Amino acid sequence: MTKGTPTLGQRQKRTHTVCRRCGRVSLNVHTKQCTACGFGRMKCQRDYKWRLKNKLNGDS
């Protein structure tokens, strides 16, 4: 297959959809795993200490 503009027109499928647990558009359709909260991969909510600074400042 060729590189560049012709192949960019092939990208029409959605990779992520709305997650049932966190409500973000981060649930991968193919792997059925949420990248934001970890739904489908683990029972506990995905949360890391390095994100605490972002939560306090209101970023992301």
- HEC letters along the chain: CCCCHHHHCCCCCCCEEECCCCCCEEEECCCCCECCCCCCCCCCCCCCHHHHHHHHHCCC
pLDDT of residue 28: 96
> Under a CB-based contact definition with an 8 Å cutoff, are residues 33 and 39 in contact?
yes
In the chain, domain spans: 13-57
User: 5-57: per-residue pLDDT in tens?
Assistant: 888 887 888 999 999 999 999 999 999 999 999 999 988 888 878 777 766 77
By three-state DSSP, how is residue 59 classified? coil
The highest-level CATH class for domain 13-57 is mainly beta
